[in-house]
Amino acid sequence: MPAKRRNAKRRLDPVSECEAWAMTFKSGYDFLRALDIFDIHTDEDARAAAPAAWARLAHIYFDKFHEPDSEPWALTEFGMP
């Protein structure tokens, strides 16, 4: 019997993952629905998953996506990781 074929799990590099989270980190909402690739379809689900994502990705967010004239929602909610 042939081996069962497995679909590869979708993996993103951390910068791409942070890019998807950037709007949510900035505003608390996923206006562009960028988190759909992670099976996160509502803002409530995004806000529930945000603390873990912020802890993993905050340093990348500040290096690549942060606008210096504003304080991101995630920083206000969760502080510096």
Total number of domains constituting the chain = 1
Residue 29: inside a domain: yes
Question: In this structure, what token pair is assigned to residue 67?
Answer: 């606008």
pLDDT digits over 12-67, tens only? 789 999 999 999 999 999 999 999 999 999 999 999 999 999 999 999 999 999 99
Of 41, 16, 58, give the one whose Cα is nearest residue 77.
58
What pTM value is reported for the model? 0.83
User: Tell me, what's the pLDDT at 49?
Assistant: 96
Residue 19: inside a domain: yes
Residue 8: inside a domain: no
Residue 78: inside a domain: no
User: Tell me, what's the pLDDT at 9?
Assistant: 55
Residue 81: inside a domain: no
Residue 7 has pLDDT above 80, yes or no: no
Could you list the residue range(s) of the whole structural domain that residue 42 is in? 14-70
User: Tell me, what's the pLDDT at 4?
Assistant: 67
Residue 21: inside a domain: yes
User: Tell me, what's the pLDDT at 81?
Assistant: 86
Residue 51: inside a domain: yes
User: Tell me, what's the pLDDT at 72?
Assistant: 95
User: Tell me, what's the pLDDT at 35?
Assistant: 94
Residue 1: inside a domain: no
Question: In this structure, what token pair is assigned to residue 9?
Answer: 């799990």
